Chains A and B, each alone.
Chain A
Amino acid sequence: MSNSSYLTVKALTKYIKRKFDADPHLREVYVKGELSNVKIHSSGHIYFTLKDDTARIQATMFRAAAAKLAFKPEEGMMVYIRGDVNVYETAGIYQLYVQTMEPDGVGGLFIAFQQLKEALQKEGLFNPSFKQALPPFPKAIGVVTATTGAAIRDICTTLQRRYPQAEICIYPTLVQGAGAAANIANNIQLANKQAQCDILIVGRGGGSIEDLWAFNEEIVARAIFESRIPIISAVGHETDTTIADFVADLRAPTPTAAAELAVPNQHELKERIVANVARLQHMVTAQLRFERNRLQKYQQSYPLATPEKLYRPFIERLAQNDMKLQQSMNVYMLKKRNEAEKVFTKMQFFSPQKALQIEQQKLLQLGGELSRTMQHRLNEDKSKLHASIRTLAALNPLSIMEKGFNVTYHEAQIIKQASQLTVDDAIQIHYQDGIVHAKVTNVELQKGE
Protein backbone atom coordinates (compact mmCIF):
# COMPACT_ATOMS: atom_id res chain seq x y z
CA MET A 1 0.00 0.00 0.00
CA SER A 2 1.14 3.50 -0.73
CA ASN A 3 1.95 5.87 2.06
CA SER A 4 -1.02 8.07 1.38
CA SER A 5 -3.50 5.25 2.05
CA TYR A 6 -2.64 5.19 5.76
CA LEU A 7 -4.99 7.16 8.02
CA THR A 8 -3.80 9.36 10.80
CA VAL A 9 -4.98 8.39 14.30
CA LYS A 10 -6.86 11.63 14.42
CA ALA A 11 -8.73 10.89 11.19
CA LEU A 12 -9.57 7.40 12.35
CA THR A 13 -10.81 8.63 15.71
CA LYS A 14 -12.90 11.30 13.98
CA TYR A 15 -14.42 8.60 11.80
CA ILE A 16 -15.31 6.49 14.82
CA LYS A 17 -16.74 9.51 16.60
CA ARG A 18 -18.98 10.24 13.63
CA LYS A 19 -20.39 6.73 13.92
CA PHE A 20 -21.36 7.46 17.54
CA ASP A 21 -22.81 10.84 16.63
CA ALA A 22 -24.92 9.39 13.87
CA ASP A 23 -26.50 6.63 15.98
CA PRO A 24 -29.86 7.81 17.47
CA HIS A 25 -29.81 5.11 20.17
CA LEU A 26 -26.50 6.35 21.52
CA ARG A 27 -27.69 9.97 21.67
CA GLU A 28 -30.11 9.20 24.47
CA VAL A 29 -29.71 6.02 26.48
CA TYR A 30 -31.27 4.85 29.71
CA VAL A 31 -28.93 2.49 31.48
CA LYS A 32 -28.71 0.94 34.92
CA GLY A 33 -25.70 -0.47 36.68
CA GLU A 34 -23.43 -0.44 39.70
CA LEU A 35 -21.12 2.45 40.51
CA SER A 36 -17.43 1.74 40.88
CA ASN A 37 -14.23 3.83 40.94
CA VAL A 38 -16.25 6.94 41.80
CA LYS A 39 -14.07 10.04 41.73
CA ILE A 40 -15.58 13.42 42.58
CA HIS A 41 -13.14 15.94 41.15
CA SER A 42 -12.52 19.33 42.79
CA SER A 43 -13.85 20.96 39.61
CA GLY A 44 -17.25 19.39 40.37
CA HIS A 45 -17.14 16.80 37.60
CA ILE A 46 -17.76 13.19 38.63
CA TYR A 47 -15.92 10.25 37.00
CA PHE A 48 -16.84 6.62 37.57
CA THR A 49 -17.22 3.22 35.99
CA LEU A 50 -20.67 1.73 35.51
CA LYS A 51 -20.65 -2.03 35.56
CA ASP A 52 -22.65 -5.20 35.95
CA ASP A 53 -21.63 -8.87 36.10
CA THR A 54 -20.11 -9.01 32.66
CA ALA A 55 -19.46 -5.53 31.32
CA ARG A 56 -18.31 -2.09 32.23
CA ILE A 57 -18.36 1.38 30.72
CA GLN A 58 -16.45 4.53 31.61
CA ALA A 59 -18.77 7.41 32.65
CA THR A 60 -18.44 11.17 33.15
CA MET A 61 -20.93 13.50 34.80
CA PHE A 62 -20.05 17.15 34.26
CA ARG A 63 -20.45 19.72 36.98
CA ALA A 64 -23.68 21.27 35.62
CA ALA A 65 -25.45 17.89 35.70
CA ALA A 66 -23.74 16.75 38.91
CA ALA A 67 -24.97 19.86 40.75
CA LYS A 68 -28.57 18.66 40.34
CA LEU A 69 -27.94 15.31 42.02
CA ALA A 70 -30.21 14.75 45.00
CA PHE A 71 -27.87 12.09 46.46
CA LYS A 72 -24.17 11.45 46.77
CA PRO A 73 -22.93 8.73 44.41
CA GLU A 74 -21.09 6.01 46.28
CA GLU A 75 -19.13 2.87 45.49
CA GLY A 76 -21.34 -0.18 44.85
CA MET A 77 -24.54 1.86 44.53
CA MET A 78 -27.08 0.72 41.97
CA VAL A 79 -28.11 3.69 39.79
CA TYR A 80 -30.34 4.56 36.88
CA ILE A 81 -28.73 6.85 34.36
CA ARG A 82 -29.90 8.89 31.41
CA GLY A 83 -27.21 10.16 29.10
CA ASP A 84 -25.45 9.67 25.78
CA VAL A 85 -22.50 7.60 24.61
CA ASN A 86 -19.69 9.26 22.72
CA VAL A 87 -15.98 9.14 22.02
CA TYR A 88 -13.43 10.88 24.17
CA GLU A 89 -10.93 11.50 21.41
CA THR A 90 -7.87 12.42 23.47
CA ALA A 91 -8.01 9.22 25.49
CA GLY A 92 -9.21 7.05 22.66
CA ILE A 93 -12.11 5.64 24.61
CA TYR A 94 -15.86 5.69 24.33
CA GLN A 95 -17.77 6.62 27.44
CA LEU A 96 -21.13 7.42 28.94
CA TYR A 97 -21.88 11.13 29.45
CA VAL A 98 -24.39 11.25 32.32
CA GLN A 99 -27.26 13.78 32.26
CA THR A 100 -29.28 12.50 35.23
CA MET A 101 -28.68 9.78 37.75
CA GLU A 102 -31.09 8.30 40.28
CA PRO A 103 -30.39 5.72 42.95
CA ASP A 104 -32.08 2.35 42.61
CA GLY A 105 -35.49 1.86 44.10
CA VAL A 106 -37.09 4.75 42.31
CA GLY A 107 -35.44 4.01 39.03
CA GLY A 108 -38.64 2.91 37.36
CA LEU A 109 -40.57 5.83 38.76
CA PHE A 110 -37.83 8.16 37.72
CA ILE A 111 -38.03 7.06 34.12
CA ALA A 112 -41.80 7.40 34.17
CA PHE A 113 -41.44 10.85 35.67
CA GLN A 114 -38.99 11.93 33.00
CA GLN A 115 -41.11 10.57 30.20
CA LEU A 116 -44.34 12.17 31.45
CA LYS A 117 -42.58 15.44 32.10
CA GLU A 118 -41.22 15.55 28.57
CA ALA A 119 -44.55 14.59 27.04
CA LEU A 120 -46.48 17.24 28.99
CA GLN A 121 -43.84 19.83 28.29
CA LYS A 122 -44.08 19.08 24.58
CA GLU A 123 -47.85 19.42 24.84
CA GLY A 124 -47.39 22.86 26.39
CA LEU A 125 -48.86 22.28 29.84
CA PHE A 126 -45.92 24.04 31.51
CA ASN A 127 -46.12 27.00 29.16
CA PRO A 128 -45.79 30.26 31.15
CA SER A 129 -48.54 31.83 29.01
CA PHE A 130 -51.07 29.49 30.69
CA LYS A 131 -50.13 30.61 34.20
CA GLN A 132 -52.99 32.45 35.91
CA ALA A 133 -52.41 35.47 38.12
CA LEU A 134 -53.31 35.20 41.80
CA PRO A 135 -55.92 37.60 43.23
CA PRO A 136 -54.18 40.06 45.57
CA PHE A 137 -56.82 39.81 48.31
CA PRO A 138 -58.50 36.39 48.14
CA LYS A 139 -61.82 35.96 49.92
CA ALA A 140 -61.60 32.19 50.26
CA ILE A 141 -58.71 29.78 49.95
CA GLY A 142 -59.30 26.19 49.04
CA VAL A 143 -56.88 23.62 50.39
CA VAL A 144 -56.67 20.27 48.67
CA THR A 145 -54.72 18.10 51.10
CA ALA A 146 -55.09 15.63 53.93
CA THR A 147 -56.91 16.84 57.07
CA THR A 148 -54.23 15.22 59.15
CA GLY A 149 -50.55 15.91 59.15
CA ALA A 150 -48.24 18.88 59.20
CA ALA A 151 -49.27 20.37 55.86
CA ILE A 152 -52.83 21.36 56.79
CA ARG A 153 -51.68 22.62 60.17
CA ASP A 154 -48.90 24.72 58.66
CA ILE A 155 -51.22 26.18 56.05
CA CYS A 156 -53.98 27.06 58.54
CA THR A 157 -51.56 28.60 61.05
CA THR A 158 -49.88 30.68 58.41
CA LEU A 159 -53.16 31.89 56.91
CA GLN A 160 -54.49 32.70 60.39
CA ARG A 161 -51.40 34.70 61.18
CA ARG A 162 -51.22 36.58 57.89
CA TYR A 163 -54.76 37.03 56.70
CA PRO A 164 -57.65 35.81 58.85
CA GLN A 165 -59.98 37.81 56.61
CA ALA A 166 -60.02 34.98 54.09
CA GLU A 167 -62.11 31.92 54.64
CA ILE A 168 -60.42 28.53 54.42
CA CYS A 169 -62.21 25.67 52.67
CA ILE A 170 -60.56 22.34 53.18
CA TYR A 171 -61.16 19.57 50.67
CA PRO A 172 -60.10 16.43 52.61
CA THR A 173 -57.90 14.52 50.22
CA LEU A 174 -55.99 11.29 50.09
CA VAL A 175 -52.45 12.37 49.25
CA GLN A 176 -50.61 9.07 49.08
CA GLY A 177 -51.18 5.48 48.21
CA ALA A 178 -53.70 3.90 45.91
CA GLY A 179 -56.41 6.23 44.64
CA ALA A 180 -54.58 9.34 45.85
CA ALA A 181 -54.03 10.78 42.36
CA ALA A 182 -57.66 10.31 41.38
CA ASN A 183 -58.81 11.86 44.68
CA ILE A 184 -56.57 14.90 44.22
CA ALA A 185 -57.80 15.40 40.66
CA ASN A 186 -61.44 14.97 41.75
CA ASN A 187 -61.17 17.51 44.53
CA ILE A 188 -59.58 20.07 42.21
CA GLN A 189 -62.53 19.58 39.89
CA LEU A 190 -64.97 19.77 42.82
CA ALA A 191 -63.49 23.05 44.01
CA ASN A 192 -63.85 24.43 40.49
CA LYS A 193 -67.45 23.29 40.30
CA GLN A 194 -68.34 24.87 43.65
CA ALA A 195 -66.42 28.02 42.77
CA GLN A 196 -66.26 29.23 46.36
CA CYS A 197 -62.53 29.82 46.46
CA ASP A 198 -60.37 32.18 44.49
CA ILE A 199 -57.11 30.35 45.18
CA LEU A 200 -56.39 26.62 45.58
CA ILE A 201 -53.45 25.22 47.47
CA VAL A 202 -52.75 21.65 46.33
CA GLY A 203 -50.11 19.70 48.19
CA ARG A 204 -48.86 17.71 51.09
CA GLY A 205 -45.98 17.54 53.52
CA GLY A 206 -42.62 15.93 52.93
CA GLY A 207 -42.09 12.24 52.35
CA SER A 208 -40.31 9.70 50.22
CA ILE A 209 -40.53 9.92 46.46
CA GLU A 210 -43.06 7.12 46.57
CA ASP A 211 -45.12 9.10 49.10
CA LEU A 212 -45.15 12.13 46.81
CA TRP A 213 -45.82 10.07 43.72
CA ALA A 214 -49.49 10.95 43.31
CA PHE A 215 -48.40 14.48 42.40
CA ASN A 216 -46.43 13.06 39.48
CA GLU A 217 -49.47 11.42 37.95
CA GLU A 218 -50.84 12.65 34.65
CA ILE A 219 -54.42 12.81 35.95
CA VAL A 220 -53.35 15.32 38.62
CA ALA A 221 -51.32 17.32 36.12
CA ARG A 222 -54.33 17.61 33.81
CA ALA A 223 -56.71 18.55 36.65
CA ILE A 224 -54.34 21.34 37.70
CA PHE A 225 -54.01 22.49 34.10
CA GLU A 226 -57.79 22.55 33.61
CA SER A 227 -58.50 24.45 36.84
CA ARG A 228 -59.94 27.95 36.37
CA ILE A 229 -59.05 28.72 39.98
CA PRO A 230 -55.35 29.63 40.23
CA ILE A 231 -53.42 26.82 41.90
CA ILE A 232 -50.38 26.99 44.15
CA SER A 233 -48.58 23.65 44.37
CA ALA A 234 -46.94 22.73 47.66
CA VAL A 235 -45.50 19.24 47.61
CA GLY A 236 -42.97 18.00 50.14
CA HIS A 237 -39.81 19.94 50.76
CA GLU A 238 -37.87 22.45 48.78
CA THR A 239 -35.82 19.74 46.98
CA ASP A 240 -38.84 17.78 45.83
CA THR A 241 -40.07 18.73 42.43
CA THR A 242 -43.15 17.04 41.02
CA ILE A 243 -45.04 17.28 37.77
CA ALA A 244 -47.75 19.15 39.70
CA ASP A 245 -45.18 21.86 40.43
CA PHE A 246 -44.51 22.33 36.73
CA VAL A 247 -48.18 22.63 35.81
CA ALA A 248 -49.31 24.76 38.76
CA ASP A 249 -49.73 28.50 38.32
CA LEU A 250 -47.25 29.02 41.12
CA ARG A 251 -44.90 26.57 42.82
CA ALA A 252 -44.37 26.89 46.55
CA PRO A 253 -41.42 25.03 48.06
CA THR A 254 -43.46 24.03 51.16
CA PRO A 255 -47.08 24.21 52.40
CA THR A 256 -46.16 27.11 54.69
CA ALA A 257 -44.68 28.98 51.74
CA ALA A 258 -47.84 28.27 49.75
CA ALA A 259 -49.95 29.93 52.45
CA GLU A 260 -47.61 32.90 52.45
CA LEU A 261 -47.84 33.23 48.68
CA ALA A 262 -51.62 32.91 48.73
CA VAL A 263 -52.45 35.88 50.93
CA PRO A 264 -51.08 39.28 51.80
CA ASN A 265 -49.87 40.00 55.30
CA GLN A 266 -52.65 41.79 57.19
CA HIS A 267 -50.13 43.68 59.33
CA GLU A 268 -48.38 44.93 56.25
CA LEU A 269 -51.76 45.87 54.80
CA LYS A 270 -52.69 47.80 57.93
CA GLU A 271 -49.36 49.56 57.77
CA ARG A 272 -49.98 50.30 54.13
CA ILE A 273 -53.36 51.83 54.98
CA VAL A 274 -51.86 53.86 57.81
CA ALA A 275 -49.08 55.03 55.50
CA ASN A 276 -51.60 55.98 52.85
CA VAL A 277 -53.69 57.90 55.37
CA ALA A 278 -50.57 59.69 56.56
CA ARG A 279 -49.64 60.63 53.01
CA LEU A 280 -53.22 61.72 52.36
CA GLN A 281 -53.24 63.99 55.41
CA HIS A 282 -49.78 65.27 54.68
CA MET A 283 -50.63 66.12 51.08
CA VAL A 284 -53.87 67.93 51.92
CA THR A 285 -52.32 69.83 54.82
CA ALA A 286 -49.38 70.79 52.65
CA GLN A 287 -51.66 71.94 49.87
CA LEU A 288 -53.79 73.96 52.29
CA ARG A 289 -50.69 75.58 53.77
CA PHE A 290 -49.36 76.27 50.33
CA GLU A 291 -52.60 77.90 49.18
CA ARG A 292 -52.83 79.94 52.39
CA ASN A 293 -49.28 81.18 51.98
CA ARG A 294 -49.94 82.04 48.39
CA LEU A 295 -53.06 83.99 49.38
CA GLN A 296 -51.15 85.85 52.07
CA LYS A 297 -48.38 86.68 49.70
CA TYR A 298 -50.85 88.19 47.27
CA GLN A 299 -52.68 90.05 50.01
CA GLN A 300 -49.45 91.62 51.21
CA SER A 301 -48.22 92.25 47.76
CA TYR A 302 -47.26 95.84 46.86
CA PRO A 303 -50.16 96.57 44.49
CA LEU A 304 -52.87 95.16 46.75
CA ALA A 305 -51.43 96.88 49.82
CA THR A 306 -51.18 100.30 48.15
CA PRO A 307 -53.72 100.39 45.40
CA GLU A 308 -53.12 104.08 44.54
CA LYS A 309 -49.62 103.13 43.49
CA LEU A 310 -51.19 100.80 41.05
CA TYR A 311 -52.36 103.59 38.79
CA ARG A 312 -49.71 106.18 39.59
CA PRO A 313 -47.59 105.19 36.64
CA PHE A 314 -50.58 105.60 34.38
CA ILE A 315 -51.21 109.11 35.63
CA GLU A 316 -47.58 109.96 35.12
CA ARG A 317 -47.62 108.57 31.68
CA LEU A 318 -50.78 110.48 30.82
CA ALA A 319 -49.23 113.75 32.02
CA GLN A 320 -46.10 113.06 30.10
CA ASN A 321 -48.05 112.33 26.97
CA ASP A 322 -50.08 115.54 27.42
CA MET A 323 -46.89 117.51 27.64
CA LYS A 324 -45.41 115.84 24.63
CA LEU A 325 -48.60 116.51 22.69
CA GLN A 326 -48.49 120.19 23.61
CA GLN A 327 -44.85 120.45 22.63
CA SER A 328 -45.22 118.75 19.35
CA MET A 329 -48.29 120.88 18.59
CA ASN A 330 -46.29 124.04 19.24
CA VAL A 331 -43.44 122.91 17.06
CA TYR A 332 -45.87 122.04 14.35
CA MET A 333 -47.62 125.37 14.52
CA LEU A 334 -44.32 127.25 14.48
CA LYS A 335 -43.15 125.37 11.47
CA LYS A 336 -46.39 126.00 9.61
CA ARG A 337 -46.33 129.68 10.48
CA ASN A 338 -42.79 129.99 9.14
CA GLU A 339 -43.78 128.29 5.97
CA ALA A 340 -46.76 130.60 5.57
CA GLU A 341 -44.62 133.66 6.11
CA LYS A 342 -42.12 132.49 3.56
CA VAL A 343 -44.85 132.00 1.02
CA PHE A 344 -46.30 135.40 1.89
CA THR A 345 -42.96 137.10 1.36
CA LYS A 346 -42.54 135.30 -1.90
CA MET A 347 -46.03 136.33 -2.89
CA GLN A 348 -45.31 139.92 -2.01
CA PHE A 349 -42.16 139.73 -4.01
CA PHE A 350 -44.10 138.65 -7.03
CA SER A 351 -47.04 140.99 -6.28
CA PRO A 352 -48.55 142.65 -9.50
CA GLN A 353 -49.18 145.86 -7.57
CA LYS A 354 -45.52 146.63 -7.43
CA ALA A 355 -45.13 145.85 -11.12
CA LEU A 356 -48.13 148.01 -11.72
CA GLN A 357 -46.54 150.91 -9.83
CA ILE A 358 -43.36 150.47 -11.79
CA GLU A 359 -45.29 150.35 -15.01
CA GLN A 360 -47.29 153.37 -13.99
CA GLN A 361 -44.14 155.23 -13.23
CA LYS A 362 -42.70 154.14 -16.52
CA LEU A 363 -45.90 155.27 -18.21
CA LEU A 364 -45.74 158.63 -16.49
CA GLN A 365 -42.15 159.01 -17.47
CA LEU A 366 -42.90 157.98 -21.01
CA GLY A 367 -45.90 160.32 -21.09
CA GLY A 368 -43.80 163.24 -19.95
CA GLU A 369 -41.12 162.38 -22.41
CA LEU A 370 -43.67 162.05 -25.15
CA SER A 371 -45.25 165.44 -24.50
CA ARG A 372 -41.87 167.09 -24.17
CA THR A 373 -40.74 165.55 -27.43
CA MET A 374 -44.05 166.45 -29.02
CA GLN A 375 -43.68 170.07 -27.86
CA HIS A 376 -40.18 170.12 -29.04
CA ARG A 377 -41.16 168.72 -32.38
CA LEU A 378 -44.06 171.14 -32.65
CA ASN A 379 -41.84 174.06 -31.83
CA GLU A 380 -39.27 172.84 -34.29
CA ASP A 381 -41.91 172.34 -36.97
CA LYS A 382 -43.42 175.72 -36.27
CA SER A 383 -40.12 177.48 -36.70
CA LYS A 384 -39.43 175.38 -39.79
CA LEU A 385 -42.84 176.38 -41.08
CA HIS A 386 -42.17 180.00 -40.43
CA ALA A 387 -38.88 179.71 -42.21
CA SER A 388 -40.58 177.92 -45.07
CA ILE A 389 -43.28 180.50 -45.20
CA ARG A 390 -40.66 183.19 -45.37
CA THR A 391 -38.83 181.31 -48.12
CA LEU A 392 -42.08 180.62 -49.87
CA ALA A 393 -43.14 184.18 -49.67
CA ALA A 394 -39.85 185.12 -51.09
CA LEU A 395 -40.19 182.62 -53.85
CA ASN A 396 -43.88 183.35 -54.70
CA PRO A 397 -44.10 183.66 -58.50
CA LEU A 398 -46.91 186.03 -58.10
CA SER A 399 -44.64 188.35 -56.31
CA ILE A 400 -42.14 187.96 -59.11
CA MET A 401 -44.92 188.68 -61.61
CA GLU A 402 -45.52 191.86 -59.75
CA LYS A 403 -42.11 192.71 -60.75
CA GLY A 404 -42.99 192.09 -64.41
CA PHE A 405 -42.14 188.50 -64.97
CA ASN A 406 -44.66 186.07 -66.48
CA VAL A 407 -45.07 182.33 -67.01
CA THR A 408 -45.70 180.59 -70.30
CA TYR A 409 -47.53 177.24 -70.57
CA HIS A 410 -47.75 175.03 -73.57
CA GLU A 411 -50.14 172.17 -73.33
CA ALA A 412 -50.27 172.66 -69.44
CA GLN A 413 -46.47 172.64 -69.16
CA ILE A 414 -44.31 175.50 -68.05
CA ILE A 415 -41.98 176.47 -70.79
CA LYS A 416 -38.58 177.24 -69.56
CA GLN A 417 -36.65 177.38 -72.83
CA ALA A 418 -37.45 178.76 -76.20
CA SER A 419 -36.36 175.56 -77.83
CA GLN A 420 -39.38 173.89 -76.40
CA LEU A 421 -41.59 175.78 -78.77
CA THR A 422 -42.18 175.63 -82.43
CA VAL A 423 -44.02 177.95 -84.84
CA ASP A 424 -47.78 177.93 -84.60
CA ASP A 425 -47.78 176.42 -81.05
CA ALA A 426 -50.64 177.80 -78.98
CA ILE A 427 -49.26 179.26 -75.80
CA GLN A 428 -50.74 180.78 -72.64
CA ILE A 429 -48.96 183.60 -70.97
CA HIS A 430 -49.87 184.06 -67.33
CA TYR A 431 -49.75 187.57 -65.84
CA GLN A 432 -50.48 188.95 -62.49
CA ASP A 433 -53.90 190.04 -63.54
CA GLY A 434 -54.81 187.42 -66.25
CA ILE A 435 -53.92 185.15 -69.11
CA VAL A 436 -52.99 186.00 -72.70
CA HIS A 437 -53.59 183.29 -75.45
CA ALA A 438 -51.04 183.76 -78.23
CA LYS A 439 -49.55 181.99 -81.25
CA VAL A 440 -45.85 181.52 -81.84
CA THR A 441 -44.82 183.30 -84.93
CA ASN A 442 -41.14 182.98 -84.76
CA VAL A 443 -38.55 181.27 -82.61
CA GLU A 444 -35.16 182.85 -82.41
CA LEU A 445 -32.64 180.98 -80.52
CA GLN A 446 -29.60 182.81 -79.11
CA LYS A 447 -26.40 182.00 -80.75
CA GLY A 448 -23.74 180.28 -79.02
CA GLU A 449 -26.01 178.19 -77.11
Chain B
Amino acid sequence: MENLTFAQAMTELEEIVRKLEQGEVPLEEAIDLYKKGMEYSKFCNDKLQHAEQQLISIVDENGNKQPFQAGNGEN
Protein backbone atom coordinates (compact mmCIF):
# COMPACT_ATOMS: atom_id res chain seq x y z
CA MET B 1 0.00 0.00 0.00
CA GLU B 2 2.89 2.36 0.85
CA ASN B 3 4.51 2.19 -2.59
CA LEU B 4 1.24 2.50 -4.43
CA THR B 5 0.58 5.40 -6.78
CA PHE B 6 -2.67 7.26 -6.69
CA ALA B 7 -3.56 5.85 -10.12
CA GLN B 8 -2.96 2.27 -8.95
CA ALA B 9 -5.03 2.78 -5.80
CA MET B 10 -7.87 4.32 -7.83
CA THR B 11 -7.79 1.42 -10.29
CA GLU B 12 -7.81 -1.11 -7.43
CA LEU B 13 -10.73 0.63 -5.76
CA GLU B 14 -12.77 0.70 -8.95
CA GLU B 15 -11.88 -2.88 -9.76
CA ILE B 16 -13.08 -3.97 -6.31
CA VAL B 17 -16.38 -2.12 -6.76
CA ARG B 18 -16.81 -3.67 -10.20
CA LYS B 19 -16.15 -7.16 -8.79
CA LEU B 20 -18.65 -6.67 -5.99
CA GLU B 21 -21.28 -5.33 -8.37
CA GLN B 22 -20.94 -8.39 -10.55
CA GLY B 23 -22.30 -10.17 -7.51
CA GLU B 24 -20.52 -13.48 -7.90
CA VAL B 25 -18.16 -13.09 -4.97
CA PRO B 26 -18.60 -15.35 -1.90
CA LEU B 27 -19.42 -13.50 1.31
CA GLU B 28 -16.02 -13.97 2.97
CA GLU B 29 -14.24 -12.64 -0.09
CA ALA B 30 -16.75 -9.81 -0.38
CA ILE B 31 -15.96 -8.70 3.16
CA ASP B 32 -12.23 -8.92 2.48
CA LEU B 33 -12.72 -6.89 -0.70
CA TYR B 34 -14.74 -4.35 1.21
CA LYS B 35 -11.95 -3.90 3.78
CA LYS B 36 -9.38 -3.53 1.01
CA GLY B 37 -11.62 -1.13 -0.88
CA MET B 38 -11.98 1.05 2.19
CA GLU B 39 -8.20 1.08 2.59
CA TYR B 40 -7.72 2.11 -1.03
CA SER B 41 -10.32 4.85 -0.74
CA LYS B 42 -8.62 6.17 2.40
CA PHE B 43 -5.28 6.07 0.62
CA CYS B 44 -6.68 8.01 -2.35
CA ASN B 45 -8.39 10.54 -0.09
CA ASP B 46 -5.19 11.06 1.88
CA LYS B 47 -3.26 11.61 -1.33
CA LEU B 48 -5.80 14.20 -2.45
CA GLN B 49 -5.95 15.92 0.95
CA HIS B 50 -2.18 15.86 1.22
CA ALA B 51 -1.37 18.72 -1.15
CA GLU B 52 -3.72 21.61 -0.73
CA GLN B 53 -0.92 24.04 -1.58
CA GLN B 54 0.62 23.32 -4.93
CA LEU B 55 4.37 23.21 -5.24
CA ILE B 56 5.44 25.48 -8.07
CA SER B 57 9.09 25.85 -8.95
CA ILE B 58 11.32 27.15 -11.65
CA VAL B 59 13.81 24.72 -13.10
CA ASP B 60 17.11 25.93 -14.50
CA GLU B 61 19.42 24.25 -17.01
CA ASN B 62 21.08 22.25 -14.22
CA GLY B 63 17.80 20.93 -12.87
CA ASN B 64 17.89 23.20 -9.81
CA LYS B 65 14.51 24.33 -8.56
CA GLN B 66 13.50 27.66 -7.11
CA PRO B 67 10.08 28.48 -5.69
CA PHE B 68 7.88 30.43 -8.04
CA GLN B 69 4.94 32.60 -7.15
CA ALA B 70 2.37 32.68 -9.89
CA GLY B 71 1.39 36.23 -10.72
CA ASN B 72 4.89 37.39 -9.83
CA GLY B 73 5.40 38.47 -13.37
CA GLU B 74 3.55 41.29 -14.93
CA ASN B 75 0.30 40.64 -16.71
Give A contacts to B, CB under 8 Å.
135-137, 139, 142, 146-150, 152-153, 156-157, 159-160, 164-172, 190-191, 194, 196, 266, 269-270, 272-273, 276-277, 279-281, 283-284, 287-288, 291
Contacts and interface: CB of A to CB of B under 8 A. Distances in A.
A162 to B, nearest CB: 10
The binding surface of chain A is classed by DSSP as helix
Contacts of A279: 17, 20-21
A168 B55 contact: yes
Contacts of B44: 269, 273
Interface of B: 5-7, 10, 13-14, 16-17, 20-21, 23, 25, 27, 30-31, 33-34, 37-38, 41, 44-45, 47-48, 50-59, 61, 63, 65, 68, 70-75
A159 B54 contact: yes
Given A167-B57, A194-B59, A281-B34, 15 more contacts: A147-B72, A157-B70, A165-B50, A168-B56, A169-B65, A170-B68, A266-B48, A269-B44, A270-B48, A273-B44, A277-B41, A283-B20, A283-B21, A284-B20, A287-B25
B73 A280 contact: no
A149 B74 CA distance: 6
Contacts of A136: 7, 10
Instruction: Please indicate which of the listed interface residues B7, B31, B53 has the most CB atoms of chain A within 10 Å of its own CB.
Output: B7
Instruction: Please indicate which of the listed interface residues B14, B21, B25, B48 has the most CB atoms of chain A within 10 Å of its own CB.
Output: B48
Contacts of A137: 5-7, 10
* 4 tightest Cβ-Cβ pairs between the two chains A and B: A148-B73, A156-B70, A283-B20, A164-B54
Contacts of B55: 167-168
A203 B20 CA distance: 45
A139 to B, nearest CB: 8
13 contacts: A147-B58, A147-B72, A153-B75, A160-B70, A164-B53, A165-B48, A166-B54, A167-B55, A169-B58, A169-B59, A172-B58, A283-B34, A288-B27
A153 B75 CA distance: 8
Given A136-B7, A153-B71, A169-B65, A164 B38 contact: no
